[in-house]
Each structure stands twice: as structure tokens, then as C-alpha cells.
Homo-oligomer: A and B are copies of this chain.
Amino acid sequence: MICPINRTHNPNLRSWVESANQKDTDFPIQNLPFGVFRPRNSNNSRIGVAIGDRILDLTACCQTGLLQELSQELQAACTAPRLNQLMAMGSRAASALRDRLSQLLRADAQNPPLESKILYSMSEAELLLPADIGDYTDFYASIFHATNVGKLFRPDNPLLPNYKYVPIAYHGRASSIVPSGTAIARPKGQRRSSGESVPSFGFSQHLDYELEVGFFIGNGNQLGHPISIDDAEEHIFGLCLVNDWSARDIQAWEYQPLGPFLSKSFATTISPWVVTLEALAPFRCASFQRPQEDPLPLPYLSSAHDTKLGGIDLTVEALVCSEQMRVMGMQPLRLSRASFKSMYWTLAQMLAHHSSNGCNLRSGDLLASGTVSGAEAGTQGCLLEITQRGSKLIQLPTGEVSSYLNDGDEIELRGYCEQEGYARVGFGECRGRILSTS
């Protein structure tokens, strides 16, 4: 079931952390996303909560007794070096913690605690991966993306016959998931140009980004025990942004018959703050409305509640800034803006499908949506689509033209929910810059 709206969503709440009250912040008191950070000059990672331009240190909160009304188990989870333990405690525990943190950070909190003891400035901290990610799965849940990509390879038959029945996905590589800000080395690999009969090995010339939304498993399931669609959201801790970097030339040559492998496994960047499903409650919406001619989802993927509220009205964007643009002090150029509402499959459908064969999902596992694209121009979530497989060029404000990513290019993803009557909830940074190969 979907989290209900409660007092933590009250749009009138303000925080004693002043920067959290600014209109354009990603992290107002109504958001309270969880992450893992390391204070500069420390070797210890700890759990924090983003509030304005600050990080609330949950270890310090526990040590100063500010969370003493919570269970011992929950306090222990808050002082762990990663979110996995907290994730494993399930949505009720996370909700109790959120409520307590909301009370603590309110402008009218009684005895507001000493800032210096429990808050870090974001600039004083390094943000790390929020969880030990056991397995990473990447879906293909945008029918617009699947159709756009399909058209490039099979103009007469863009969408395969299974698409409207199966939430298509593949296993990704967990080891190479990196937090925002990590530099990305251009991968080498085998690629065969269209005119060549044999492949060669070298740097990918068709490096791309993919604009995706990820979600972390909270409480997992035992092997052999599927999670029903009605229970699925209870097993989701929260969401982040995902840039599933892709080397299209390597992918085209390697992917038959077992799917993408080295074209993806060199790096995947995620945003470090995990926005809980509870924080997103005000922005839930109907799932994608299937055209009349489309089949209904099979019963194990079907739920009246999910149809009604399984979507999320979340806007996602991708922006590029080239080396030259940075030197000239230019703003990044937006390449993609799409809505997560337009996904053919909901989070609950992806999760229920994933576990339907008995596969065990573990706390901290990451599932991603696949590229978020829409039908209109400007909504395509990767360069493969935007440049029509490299045949069209993108023009940057410097006059540079390009079909894929160049050395020095930085891709930044953004995500935010905005709705009349509610505070804006944002996802923070998801950046990665392509290292020079020379």
C-alpha cells in the first residue's frame, strides 16, 4: 500500500535550519532523505539526513540522546556505517524515525539542539554510497524508450512481443556503482564499425548516459518466497537517481545473445541521498494509462491500488557541461526532461515481477527503472535516442557539436517533485565527469 500523508508532509512546516526553508532547496523539512557521509578529516562513515545545505548526523543524534524515544534496534541501525540495517527494519521503523526527525528539526522544536554538535555543512562532507548494494538490477520500464531504441534497430517492428507483458530487466554490475562526483574513466572494449568485418579494441567512441530512477530494497524476502504486488511497496525503502553510463559501440557488438555486459559494467553513478517513499507520498499518481488495445497486466502484476496510485509525479532531467563550457563559465545545457509518470511499469510491478520466480531481494539491493523517456522531443533520456544513434548532432552553446560524450563532459541528473500545496522534494546531485584519455 501507499504511505498515507501525515504531519511530516505539512507544507507549513519550517525548520530551524534556515537553508531548508528556501523555496528552491531540494531538502526541505518535508523531504528528509537518508545518506551516508564521511566528514572531511575522518575515516568513519556515518548515516546522515539532508536538511537544506546541512547534514544531520544520526550518530551524533543518538549519542546526545535525541533519538532515545526510539527502539534500541532502530538507534543501532542509525549509528551503522551504511543504511542496510535501517533498510532491513522495514517501512514502519523508517516512518517512526522520519517522524522523530521531523519533530527535531521543526522551527518550533522545544529545546532545539546545538547545531554544532549534530549538523555538518555539506561542503565539509564527502557523500558515499548509501548502502552495500548486494545486487543491482536494471529494468527497461519506459515504453517510449523501448520504442525509440527499437525503431533505430528494427524500424518496422520497434517493440518486441513480450514488452507489454514482461517488465524487461537484466542483472547489472554492483561493484562498479559509484556515488555522484566520482570521475568516470572512458572504457575500452571491442567494437566493430559498420564498414568493418572484424572488431578492434580501444576506447569507446560512443559513450552515453542514461537518465534513470533507482529504488532501494528495504525489508527483503527469503529465497522461494515471492512478494505480491500488494505488498511490494512495503519492501521499498526509497529512491535515488541513476546514470547508467553506456558504451553504445561496445554494446552493439557484444549484446547478442545474452544482453549488455561490458558496455555497462564500467560505471554506474547514483545520487547519494535516498528519498523515502514516504517523502514522496504527496506526489503519487495513477500508473501509466495503457491504451485500450494494450493487454491488461497479468494478475500477479495487477492491483487496483497500484493502478490508482502506483505512479510518481517526478520530473527528471539530464544536463551536460563540456570542458569548454566550464572554462567559459556557462551553465550546463539541458539534454533531457521527462516525467516518471510516463513509465509503463510501476515500482511495485517491477519488484513483484523480480521476486515472482522466488528470487530473493536483500536490503540494500538496487533496482533501476531503465531510461526515462517520453514521447515528445526533449524527453528522450539518452544520447542514443536524442542523436538517433549518432546520426544527428547536438550543438552546445560554445558552438561545439557532438553525437556522444566527449572527454571532460560532465553529466548532471536532477530529479524533483513539485505540486501545488506541497513543499518541493528534490533528489540532489547526480554528477559524473568523463576523464581525459590523453
Contact = CB atoms under 8 A, between A and B. Distances in A.
Interface of A: 134-135, 137, 140, 160, 162, 165-166, 168-176, 178, 185, 187-190, 198-201, 223-224, 226, 247, 250, 253-263, 265-267, 295, 298-300, 353-354, 356-362, 365
Contacts of A357: 187-189, 247, 250, 262-263, 265-266
Contacts of A365: 175
6 contacts: A162-B253, A165-B199, A185-B358, A223-B266, A224-B266, A250-B357
B359 A224 contact: no
Contacts of A200: 298
B190 A134 contact: no
Contact of A190 (B166, B201, B259, B267): B166
A300 B187 CA distance: 14
A43 B265 CA distance: 36
B265 A162 contact: no
B362 A175 contact: yes
Contacts of A267: 223, 358
Nearest to A362: B175
Contact of A258 (B168, B199, B265, B295): B168
B254 A175 contact: no
A255 B258 CA distance: 8
Counted per complex, copies of this chain come to 2
Contact of A176 (B169, B223, B254): B223
Closest 6 CB pairs of A and B: A259-B259, A187-B357, A171-B171, A170-B258, A185-B224, A262-B357
A198 B295 contact: yes
A260 B162 CA distance: 13
A262 B135 CA distance: 14
B199 A261 contact: no
A134 B135 CA distance: 8
Contact of A201 (B140, B170, B300, B361): B300
A187 B262 CA distance: 29
Contacts of A140: 258
A261 B135 CA distance: 13
B174 A134 contact: yes
Nearest to A261: B169
B253 A175 contact: no
B266 A358 contact: yes
Given A165-B198, A176-B223, 10 more contacts: A162-B199, A162-B253, A162-B254, A168-B258, A170-B258, A171-B171, A171-B172, A175-B360, A198-B295, A247-B357
A162 B262 CA distance: 14
